[in-house]
Amino acid sequence: MYYKIKRYTWRNKMEYKFNEIEKKWQNIWREKGIFNAPDKSSKPKYYVLSMFPYASGVLHVGHASNYFIGDVISRLKMMEGFNVMQPIGYDAFGMPAENYAIEHNSHPRLTTEENIAAMRIQFDSMGFGFDWSREISTCRPDYYRWGQYLFKKLYEKGLVYRKKGFQNWCDKCQTVLANEQVVDGHCWRCGSIVEQKELEQWYFKITEYAEELLDFSKVIDWPERVITMQKNWIGRSEGAKVDFILEGTNEKIPIFTTRPDTIYGVTFMALPPEHPLVQKWLKEEPDNKELQDFCHKVINEDKVLRSAEETIKEGIFSGRYAINPFNGDRIQIWITNYVLMDYGTGAVMAVPAHDQRDFEFALKYHIPLKIVIQKPDMSLKVEEMQEAYIEPGIMVNSDKFNGIDSEEAISAITNWAVENGWGEKTVSYRLRDWCISRQRYWGNPIPVIHCPHCGIVLVPDQDLPVELPDNVQVGRTTKNPLLSVPEWINVPCPKCGASAKRETDTMDTFVDSSWYYARYTDPNNDKEPFSKELADYWLPVDQYIGGIEHACMHLLYARFFHKFMRDLGWVKCDEPFARLLTQGMVIKDGAKMSKSKGNVVDPKYIIDRFGADTLRTFLLFASPPEKDVDWSDDGIIGAFRFLKRVWRLIDNNLEFIKRSSQLGECSDSISEIIKVLRYETHYAIYRWREDCLQRMQFNTAIATCMEFLNAILKIQEPEKLNAAELKIFAFACATLPKMLYPFAPHIAEELWQKMGNKNMLNDCGLPEYDERFLMLDKITYVIQVNGKLRGKIEVEPDIKEEEIKQIALEVDNVKRHISEQDIKKIIVVPGKMVSIAVGK
């Protein structure tokens, strides 16, 4: 293997020396700083951003392909004349870094900085046009300081609160776990059973923005799929809140329902064990073993399993009753496993006749059914019901609402509740507030001090950032390492000076990534997160690129933050990302390329052997940006061969290309073959522009480059061309590097320079076609008889329809297929075809 590579490299020195070329241009780009976007420019701005990488230290080919798409767009927009900013940075806080440091007996700060240095080299070797002067890293105090500042602003606006709630808790790791970190009820890291623990956690009130987050009218171009996912995630439903009364008290038990039309059919109430009333009863009846056991069991059940549709509904009668305000009915209150505490009001009015879940539960526990909506044919009977009747119908057993249509009854009944003070019309969302607390060291500290006298006190601005202490022993204790740094925890209260304690929870890393796109506009500002002026200049991000897996996480959080920052007056626009492209993954051996699957390809391996341009060209050519790419070693070679042929074409013809630039006007006659080349050139430019600028379909743009190359290579002996022909040939050759530049920038720049050009390709405009040359002397019409291809004719472009028909009917093969039959219709599609319909 080694021998082969060596030998090959030597051979290659004769021609396409990609290693040298790529280093050369990477250096030139850096020295000239052409990708450092100025904050003032006569050009219009264009902000291209790919979701920043996690600072894992290693970029495999799968990661790289994401950034290639952004880089292509960025270079295209530069050619088009925009002031392009394409920044890069690192998502650098988080559990993986902390775990990595534990494994390597190091400190996350050190390992993360090492990783970042390694990634920078990797990025450079792939030829990215990043604005390195704007590099950020979320784990540096100059960045996270402003995350803390934002936390404070959110707090001041009432958008942050602490709440006790049941959380996935791993006792061994001593932290809250997200739902996706719980695998079959066990901790993904240590395997111990995850419990539900009632903890006080910090929340961001994202639900406050639920309504606006459903509105996508201000984005320019987002995939419909992502919009649907976010809308489903937010899950808006209209309904009513109605207060039932706990029997024997004045206590109200509010319920939320989307079906107020069924309210006369309520036969019991269902509460989850987490409900405050239930919690109160648990305290009142410590000896009620049945109740205690049931609630304990349900609460500790895995959240995912518990909310699965297949899970059998279970419950226990609480011994209490509630009163339905509409009819005074006395209904049993059941504690069940199928009601969720954190949706609606956490209490459900159960209507077994008209709700499938309630139906199943009632059947099991012999709770009566009451029909209040009849089928139009009035055939519904309680004894015969096999399932709940959830369709609309006619109201029965519902006092004054009897006889009306159930769909109309929804608003009538809601209004009746409002008039009587029993309830109100409300909207409920599936979206929950965002729990941002993490009991981990490697994250942004929550800037709060707990004072025994003043309670929660925000750290004053002048004391920001609350820096993470360095002297922790990561991994030494299972507890949050911050708990073991008393000199950090114990501080005087900023308000009263009493001895107080710092908050030791850190923020979810999604907080860090919710506003980084804005920080790039002014990354070195040490007075504020970013200046309003610069944010208004650069924002919104014109083109954002990233994986669909962030549809309901990062992309939703960032929209929330953006709207909040707009309400603070920090930014003007309504949406952070005007256009979104969700790129596909790189697939190898049938699976996503990932370290854990062991199917990663190291870009360095490919770059050393074929060059970054080959890697870029292959990945972009293999499929459209939003689709997955199948990794293929053979495909790489195809891209490599293509670039070598480009190299040879231009390198072999430099003399002619240079000579043609000295030629003045000339009026030599042009041969047919050169006329075809001229047409191919302009047609290729036309299609390339369509693919690159209109459709963003880079695979076909590269295919166009390949076809164009093949067309030029048809010219065998350029030395025999006359002056006029030579100019056409040279124009074609000079166009190719321009078309290649976004995909394979190094080879394009090198060839462009070798041709004698002094400027660089980002600065020389898009290739332009000339309408006049998109016309050929002859056009081919195909002739169909009854829809089948029967012949082709070549005609003048400006020929009349009648004439085409005549010529078409004269074609032998066409005649044969018409034979004895009558011609019913002849259709001429201009420039394309003649369709003849025949029959008896």
Q: Nearer to RNA by C-beta: 149 or 773?
A: 773
Identify the DSSP state of 174.
T
Cα–Cα distances (Å) from 737 to 243, 607, 732, 748, 760, in that order, read 72, 20, 10, 5, 11
**Residue 210 in the binding site for RNA (CB under 7 A):** no
Minimum distance of RNA from residue 833's CB (angstroms) = 5
Contact pick of 125, 337, 514, 762 for RNA (by CB under 7 A): 337
**Is 633 near RNA (CB under 7 A)?**
yes
5 or 382: CB nearest RNA: 5
Q: Does 636 bind RNA (CB under 7 A)?
A: yes
Stretch of 71-79, 464-472, 742-750, 784-792 lying at the interface with RNA (CB under 7 A): 784-792
Among 13, 595, 641, 658, binds RNA (CB under 7 A): 641
494 burial level (CB within 10 Å; 0-12, 13-18, 19+): middle
Nearest distance in Å: CB 503, RNA: 29
Piece in contact with RNA (CB under 7 A), picked from 6-14, 284-292, 493-501, 797-805: 6-14
Residue nearer to RNA on the CB measure, 252 or 501: 252
| CA–CA distances in Å: residue 328 to residues 27, 332, 355 | 82, 13, 21
What are the backbone angles phi and psi of residue 754, rounded to the nearest 5°?
Answer: -60, -30
Distance, CA of 693 to CA of 686 (rounded, Å):
11
Please identify which residue in 44, 191, 235, 368 interacts with RNA, judged by CB under 7 A. 235
**The only residue of 153, 495, 644, 805 in contact with RNA, by rule CB under 7 A:** 644
- Dihedral sign for Cα atoms in the order 25, 31, 37, 43: negative
Complex with RNA: residue 527 or 825, whichever CB lies closer: 825
Among 27, 133, 192, 311, binds RNA (CB under 7 A): 311
Whole-number Cα distances in Å, 508 to 100, 198, 202, 566: 18, 19, 10, 22
Min dist CB 660 to RNA, Å, is: 23
According to CB under 7 A, which residues from 793 to 822 bind RNA?
813, 817
Kindly tell me which residue out of 687, 689, 727, 746 binds RNA, with binding defined by CB under 7 A: 687
Selected range binding RNA among 506-514, 515-523, 635-643, 655-663, rule: CB under 7 A: 635-643
Which CB atom, from 388 or from 459, has the smaller least distance to RNA? 388
Given the rule CB under 7 A, which of 37-45, 225-233, 440-448, 508-516 is the region that contacts RNA? 225-233
Give the alpha-carbon dihedral of 338, 343, 347, 352, to 10 degrees. Answer: -50
Least CB distance from residue 158 to RNA, whole Å? 23
Q: Which residues inside 548-607 make contact with RNA, applying CB under 7 A? A: 548, 552
- Determine which residue in the list 178, 483, 630, 764 makes contact with RNA, applying CB under 7 A: 630
Determine contact, residues 713/763, Cβ cutoff 8 Å.
no
Q: Does 141 bind RNA (CB under 7 A)?
A: no
- Across 459-505, the runs of DSSP E, i.e. the strands, are 490-492, 499-502
Q: What is the DSSP string of 200-214?
A: EEEEE-GGGGHHHHT
Q: Are 712 and 732 in contact (CB under 8 A)?
A: yes
Per-residue x/- track, 236-265, RNA (CB under 7 A) = -x-x----------------xxxx------
The residue from 27, 41, 228, 661 that contacts RNA (CB under 7 A) is 228
Cis preceding linkage at 376, omega within 30: no
Q: In angstroms, give the least distance from the CB of 777 to RNA.
A: 15
Per DSSP, the three-state class of 488 is helix
Interacting residue with RNA among 496, 663, 775, 789 (CB under 7 A): 789
Q: Is 194 exposed, middle or buried (0-12, 13-18, 19+ CB in 10 A)?
A: buried
Does 523 bind RNA (CB under 7 A)? Our answer is: no
Binding of residue 538 to RNA (CB under 7 A): no
Minimal distance in Å, beta carbon 397 to RNA? 18
Supply the minimum distance, in Å, between the C-beta of residue 12 and RNA. Answer: 8
823 touches RNA (CB under 7 A): no
225 interacts with RNA by CB under 7 A: yes
Instruction: Decide: is 623 part of the binding site for RNA (CB under 7 A).
Output: yes
3-class state of residue 761 by DSSP:
helix
How near is the Cβ of 788 to RNA at its closest, in Å? Answer: 6
**Is residue 321 part of the contact set for RNA (CB under 7 A)?**
no
Residue labelled with tokens 């003048």: 796
Closer CB to RNA, 450 or 604, in the complex: 604
φ and ψ of 404, to 5 deg: -90, 165
Cβ 677 to RNA shortest distance, Å: 15
CB nearer to RNA: pick between 337 and 506: 337
Is residue 474 within 8 A of residue 107, CB to CB? The reply is: yes
Q: Taking the complex as a whole, how short is the minimal distance between the CB of residue 4 and RNA, in angstroms?
A: 4
Instruction: Name residues contacting RNA, limited to 693-752 (CB under 7 A).
Output: 697, 699-700, 702-703, 706-707, 710, 713
- 629 counts as binding RNA under rule CB under 7 A: yes
Output DSSP code: residue 399.
Answer: G
| Phi, psi of 653, rounded to the nearest 5 degrees | -115, 15
Query: Is residue 158 a contact partner of residue 205, using CB atoms and an 8 Å limit?
Result: yes
Q: Is 639 in the site for RNA (CB under 7 A)?
A: yes
Category of 786 on φ-ψ map: left (φ > 0), alpha (ψ -120 to 50) or beta? left
Question: Which range binds RNA by CB under 7 A, 192-200, 336-344, 408-416, 528-536?
Answer: 336-344
**348-407 binders of RNA (CB under 7 A):** 348-349, 355, 357
Binds RNA by CB under 7 A, chosen from 163, 627, 720, 778:
627
Query: Contact between 837 and RNA (CB under 7 A)?
Result: yes
Which range of residues in 30-38, 59-67, 150-158, 335-343 is near RNA by CB under 7 A? 335-343
What does the alpha-carbon distance between residue 232 and residue 226 come to, in Å, rounded to a whole number? 10
Site string for RNA, 7-36 (x = CB under 7 A): xx--x--x----------------------
Q: Which residues, listed in sequence order, are joined to residue 179 by a DSSP beta bridge?
A: none
Shortest Å distance, C-beta 80 to RNA: 19
Full DSSP string of 793-808? EEE-TT--HHHHHHHH
Helices (H), 405-485: 406-419
Residue 113 interacting with RNA (CB under 7 A): no
| Cβ pair 138, 444 in contact under 8 A | yes
The CA-atom distances, in angstroms, between 542 and each of 3, 46, 48, 50, 537 are 48, 6, 6, 11, 12
Site for RNA in 426-465 (CB under 7 A): 428, 430
Quick check: 774 binds RNA (CB under 7 A)?
A: no
DSSP class of residue 694 equals I
Residues 6 or more apart whose Cβ sits within 8 Å of residue 396: 371, 372, 373, 374, 402, 403
Q: What is the nearest approach in angstroms of RNA to the Cβ of residue 532?
A: 36
Choice from 189, 306, 566, 604 touching RNA (CB under 7 A): 306
Number of residues engaging RNA in binding (CB under 7 A): 93
Closest separation between CB of residue 739 and RNA, Å?
A: 13
Question: Residue 320 Cβ, how far from RNA at the closest point, in Å?
Answer: 18
Longest Cα–Cα distance in the chain? 108
638 binds RNA (CB under 7 A): yes
Asked whether the beta carbons of 578 and 221 are under 8 A apart, the reply is: yes
Query: What track of x and - describes contact with RNA for positions 409 through 428 (by CB under 7 A)?
Result: -------------------x
Rounded Cα gap, residues 787 and 404, in angstroms: 58
Q: Using DSSP, state whether 335 is helix, strand or coil.
A: strand
